[in-house]
Amino acid sequence: MRYDLDDLRLFRHIVAEGSITAGARRMHLSLPSASARVRSLEHHAGVALLVRGRRGVRPTPAGTTLARHARDVLAQTARLEGAVASYTRSPAAPLTLLAGGSAMHRLVPQALIPFLREHPDVDVTVSECRTPRTVRMLADGEADLGVVLDDEARDCGLDTEPLGDDSLVVIGQAGGILAGRTALTYREVAEHPLVGLDADSSLRRWIEKNLGPHAPVARYRTSVAGLSTLVALAAAGVGLAVVPRRALNPGQPLEVCDLQDPWARRHHLLAWGASARSSPVAAAALAGHLRRAAD
């Protein structure tokens, strides 16, 4: 026999409520209409599906079996409808998030994972970008959100909000030449062999821009692409490294010293672009995850 999906839904509601009247109400049907549908089900099944009493109804063994299979059929139908509907929806334009190398190390991944899980229909394009270029792209509507440095984004004309500390520290091998020190200047750091990020990285460029023409010439034993590798090299005693404090995991076996130079004290800002208005709900949700990741 063929089953009507609305009849199956009605029967499930009746069994769940223990009442034809209540089941009819949940389906927005009149009681006579609901009763007729149940009688039609029983007629086609050739067996009683409900035991009627003064206090309501309860399923017969056949009715229990029907209700159980109806649940599975309706669930499968919902999945089928969702799968087919996904081909008819116009895909939303992906959000564009820009951030410097420091934020890309931990902040951005920690925000993206829960956001993408909670918003399966929203895609995000993420790019590493220095603050000046990020500001230009946000102002031109080429990006939705950006994680920027306060010193470089001040008076940029964008909507911004504080996001978190991104100050720089010096790290070295536990028990090494930094042992017993709490702070030092970059000039002191440059007296020792260093390991650093690649020359075109946003952090390396930030450091070199702020050092000026009369800064000491540092010896870099090697340059690497990522902060994780840089921290590992410093921990192994290959050389000292200047990194954002937020790049360090609590409990890592390292010597950590504050960098005393004024330019080492930095803060991240969350900046909004003009294009964020085209997907305000999604952009606001991603911004919320960035705030929580920065805490």
Residue showing tokens 């649940």 = 71
In the chain, which residues fall in CATH 1.10.10.10?
Answer: 5-85
The predicted structure's pLDDT at residue 85: 57
Give the pLDDT confidence of 105-158 residue by residue, as tens digits: 889 999 999 999 999 889 999 999 889 999 999 999 899 999 999 888 887 888
The predicted structure's pLDDT at residue 211: 84
In the chain, which residues fall in CATH 3.40.190.10?
Answer: 95-165+267-294, 168-264
Phi and psi (nearest 5°) for 80? Answer: -60, -45
pLDDT higher than threshold 80 for residue 36: yes
pLDDT higher than threshold 90 for residue 181: yes
Judged on CB neighbours under 10 Å (0-12, 13-18, 19+), 154 is exposed
d(CA 267, CA 161): 11
User: Domain 95-165+267-294, what architecture?
Assistant: 3-Layer(aba) Sandwich (3.40)
Q: Between 137 and 81, where is the model more confident?
A: 137
pLDDT higher than threshold 80 for residue 275: no
Which distant-in-sequence residues (6+ apart) come within 8 Å of 179 by Cβ? 255
- Residue range 168-264, CATH number: 3.40.190.10
The predicted structure's pLDDT at residue 92: 67
- Residue range 5-85, CATH number: 1.10.10.10
SS3 helix, strand, coil % of the chain, rounded to 5?
Answer: 45, 20, 30
Q: pLDDT above 70 covers what percent of the chain?
A: 95
The predicted structure's pLDDT at residue 72: 87
pLDDT higher than threshold 80 for residue 172: yes
Average pLDDT for the chain: 89
* Enclosing H/E stretch for 125: strand 124-128
* Enclosing H/E stretch for 168: strand 168-173
Highest average pLDDT, of 100-104, 232-236, 281-285, comes from 232-236
